[in-house]
Structure 1
């Protein structure tokens, strides 16, 4: 009986730290997204490119090619007036999907779904972004 109590106490003590690790991972992933969006706002393509995962860098092998893709298809991400984080989902170990609500340069609301992967160096990098007009009502 004593061993069962000790096990339950140890398990209870571990649960909060496991939840905290998940929160820390989510905050770090959001930090990567926020830093990239601020780099875009500042016109710093090289810094924005640095937050892309290796898989993205293979598809867009230079800053100029990457920024051309962003300029042509992701203006709300390239020039956000405002952004805030929405729902997040852990897609597996070291993988997160994060909803970001963005007010674009046109004043319209957009929903961006970012996917990120934790890299071997412990840093979250962006593996993709899908963008659509938001269904949310503006106030």
Structure 2
């Protein structure tokens, strides 16, 4: 899939808005940026934000956020984001993005890897 400049802007916008929603504990707002599959998996905003709070503290409360390149990993459009977690430890978030039938973008998963790890 070819990613246009407008796709890149839209992807960044979605991730930034979700991160802002986490900062404000806006459970419904954060959940709205998740793909339909993620929404079905977690069933409601409270389950979703609880999972993020416990398993993804660097996403839930990052000290800093730096957007890197968009790439394709295993056929999935992936936005790389460097996060400084609340503990001061940097991690790279791989945001798996999914274009919806209405051409909007949603987050279809996030994988955190140590910054030392290589991405192939």
Same-fold call, TM cutoff 0.5:
yes
Greater C-alpha radius of gyration:
1
Confirm whether residue 84 of structure 1 aligns to residue 76 of structure 2: no
Q: 1:118 aligns with which of 79, 83, 99?
A: 99
1:43-79 alpha-carbon deviations (Å, 9 max, x no partner): 2111011000000011101011111111110000000
Separation in 2 of the partners of 1:77 and 1:28? 19
Residue of structure 2 in register with 1:131 after alignment:
112
For the aligned residue pairs, the C-alpha RMSD in angstroms reads 2.1
Residue of structure 2 in register with 1:108 after alignment:
89
Offset of 1:110 from its aligned partner?
A: 0.8
Offset of 1:96 from its aligned partner?
A: 1.8
Gaps of 5+ in 1: 1-18
Separation in 1 of the partners of 2:5 and 2:73? 14
Separation in 1 of the partners of 2:115 and 2:26? 26
Offset of 1:37 from its aligned partner?
A: 0.7
Separation in 2 of the partners of 1:115 and 1:62? 20
Q: How many residues align?
A: 116
More helix by share: 1
Separation in 2 of the partners of 1:97 and 1:44? 24
Offset of 1:132 from its aligned partner?
A: 2.1
Runs of 4+ in structure 1 off by over 6 angstroms are none
TM-score with structure 1 length normalisation? 0.76
The 3-state SS of whatever aligns with 2:25 is: coil
